[in-house]
Structure formats: structure tokens, C-alpha cells
Amino acid sequence: MITLGWVRDRGLSRGGTSGVVIATALLAVVGALGASLYLVLAGSSSYDLIIIFGVNAVLVVGLQVLVGNTGIMSFGQMAFVSVGAYTAGILSVPAAQKKGILPHLPAFLRDHTLPVVPTLVIAGLAAAIVAVIIGPVFMRLTGIAAGITSFGFLVIMNGLIRNAKDYTRGNETFFGVPHSATLPVVFGALTAVVALAAIIKWSRLGLRARAVRDDPLAAETAGISMLFSRLWPWVASGFISGVGGALFAYQLTAFSPNSFYLAQTIPIVVMVVLGGANSVAGALVGTTLLTAWQEFVRNLENGNVGPLHFGAVRGIAQLSIGIGLVLLLLARPSGAIGSREPQLSLRARSKKVH
């Protein structure tokens, strides 16, 4: 008999790992199928929205892997996203156009173009390498200090990108990226990323990290290194966010350093908190809720609600998200589904053996 239930991330039992992984990945697939069905019913005008949801979901899972496993909130995820996006851009602009767009690129980069899947992996790895480099500094801090440092990381990365003109075109718009953010690419990546997050969460590394999160002193006494246990979720978070950055580049096709700053950070943070920062499934729930809400108020701002039309008012979306965030933190700081995860379990009918 197959049952679908919930497990919490408290307690150190590792039982049912595969069940959680399968269930969480299934959730992403069901989401994708549901989205496709919706597309068929609603027509292609909603296609972009589904893609935006998928890309957002990857970015949110990227942050959740960090927050859920370490308790550290990062306001610098867009730094990883920008590394992933520019890496993907450099690798995937068609070679013929690249000479015009990035004339000073080293020859081996200029003359070659990679297909989607290797590009996504390399973009993720590039961001992961950045994470490995700065991790030993960042992972010493927690709470407010970590929050400020992560934001500093974003500012520094933004400065680097603005000035690495040969690779990024600096402040000018980077364009010519093929529109490869198709349904199979985005949701294939999302499913893989969700599975990765679930595997990390229920692995020995994840359990160690969460032991440090819940009681750093006791964990250190038990011989768990605080720095290393936090470093792995941080690097995984960098990798996933880098992949998300590549998808983001495929979706936008043209972007600049301004596309990866505080205005893009806040929705990602809100989505993580909204769904439940301690749950991978919560990341997907939070993304769904906020993406839907953003779409609704965006129409409202443009003056359309279903058949109704009225004058456009700028700022309503932002206002509603601000009020929503404050109320959410007041009423349910642990998010929509808290720290629960869906779990599939295969249970044999109990037979009495004599």
C-alpha cells in the first residue's frame, strides 16, 4: 500500500529518505504537469507565467537549502544568480553573434557554444566555486551579521560584474542569449534541483548541519565542525542558485547588473519565508503563492481584474507584498507548511507470521 503523509525535519532519524525524495520530486513533476494542463486550458498567454514560476522555484529552493539546513538567512543569493546568468550567457550566445557582443572574450570562449544541459551544469559549478571561496569567511557568522555580510557579498559581486567589461559588457545590457527557457528545460531542472535539495536534507551532511542549526554548542561538543557542516549547504545553495541564474538568463535573454540586485532578492526571501523556510516542499508552496499573487496584483496595477478595467495604479503590488510579509511574520513566522515534508511510504500489509 502506498500512502502519502508528512514528516517533520526534527529528530535525527533517516528513515524514509527515498520516500521523501520521491515525494518532493513528484510534487515538482505534478506541478509541471498541472501547469501544462493549465496552459492547454488557458491558452499560451500564460506560458510566460509558468516559466517564471519554474525559474523562481529553482532560485527559492537554492535559498531554502541554505536557510533550512543552517538557519542562516542570505540576502546575497542574487550574487550566485548573476554568476550563473553571465556564465550561461557567455557559453550560449551563438558563436557568430558573440564576436559582436563580446569582442574581447578569450578565443576558446568566443569560438564555441555549448548546448543547454552542459551550460546549466557549468553555470551551477561556477557559482559553487564562488561559494567555496567565500564560504570559510561567511559561514563563521550567524544571524544579523550573516545577513549583512551576505548583502555585502552581493554588492561586491555586483561591482565585479560591472567592471569585468570584457566578459559581461559592464553596465551595458548583455543580449543575444537564446530563449532556451522552455517547459522541459525549466521543469526538468526544477525536478533535479528539488531532488538534490531533498537528498542533501536527509543525508548525513544535512542532518549534521541541522544539528548545528538547532544547538550549535551541543553539536560542537559531539565533534561536529560548525564551519564544515554549514559549508556544504552553502555550496549546494550556490550551485542551485547558479543553475537558477542560467535559467533566468534563458528566460530574460537580455539583462544587466541591475537585473540581479535587492529588488530581485526580496521576493525570493519572501517566498522562502512564506512557504516555510525549513521545508523543501515549503519552498515550492511559497513560490506558487507569491508568483500567483504577484501576477494578480500586476493585473490590478494595470487596471484589469478579470472583465473589470480601471485606471492603472503603480505601487499596489509592492504595498500588498509589504503588508503581507509583516502579517505573515506576525501570524505564522514558520510559514505555510512549517517544517513538514511530504512523504511517500511503501507499507506491506501487516501479516502475522507464526
Partner 1 sequence: MTNFIQHLVDALSVGSTYSLLALGLTLVFGVMGLVNFAYGMLIVWSGYAIGLLAGWHVNVVLAVVAVIGVATFLSLVMGEVAFRPFRKAPPLTLLLTSFGVSLILQASVRIIFGEGFRRVPTPSVLGNGLHAGGVRISVLQLVSVGTGTLVVLGLYLLLQRTTLGLQMRAYAEDADVAGMMGVRTERILTAAFAISGVIAGIVAMIWLAKIGTVQPSGDLNPTIKAFIAIVIGGLGSIRGAVLGGLILGVFESFLVAYLPSVLLPYGEALAFLLVIAVLVLRPQGVAGRVVELSR
Residue 345 pairs in a beta bridge with 3
Taking CB under 8 A as the criterion, the residue among 43, 315, 347, 351 binding partner 1 is: 315
Q: Which residue in the set 39, 114, 125, 160 belongs to the binding site for partner 1 (CB under 8 A)?
A: 160
Closer CB to partner 1, residue 15 or residue 159?
A: 159
Judged by CB under 8 A, which of 42, 95, 133, 156 binds partner 1?
Answer: 156
Asked if 323 interacts with partner 1 (CB under 8 A), we say yes
Angle between helices 47-70 and 280-301 (to 10 degrees): 140
Among residues 335, 316, 338, which one has the least CA distance to residue 325?
Answer: 335
d(CA 102, CA 345): 52
Among 53, 153, 174, 187, binds partner 1 (CB under 8 A): 153
Binding marks (x or -) toward partner 1, 123..152, rule CB under 8 A?
--------------x--xxxxxx-xxx-xx
Quote the Cα angle for 138-140-144, to 5°. Answer: 75
Is 158 near partner 1 (CB under 8 A)? yes
Longest dimension (CA), the chain: 79
Of 235, 273, 281, 285, the one binding partner 1 (CB under 8 A) is 273
Write down the least CB distance from residue 201 to partner 1, Å.
Answer: 20
Choose among 242, 228, 230: nearest CA to 125: 242
Rank residues 75 and 250 by Cβ distance to partner 1 and give the closer one: 75
User: Shortest Cβ distance from residue 42 to partner 1 (Å)?
Assistant: 29
Q: Following DSSP, what letter does each residue of 34-87 receive, concatenated?
A: HHHHHHHHH-GGGHHHHHHHHHHHHHHHHHHHHHHHH----S-HHHHHHHHHHH
Q: Which three cell numbers stand for residue 31?
A: 506541478
Smallest gap, in angstroms, from Cβ of residue 55 to partner 1? 22
Q: State in angstroms the smallest separation of the CB of 312 from partner 1.
A: 11
296's grid cell: 494578480
- 155 near partner 1, judged by CB under 8 A: yes
Chain residues that interact with partner 1, rule: CB under 8 A: 73, 137, 140-145, 147-149, 151-153, 155-156, 158-160, 162-163, 262, 266, 269, 273, 313-319, 321-326, 329-330, 333
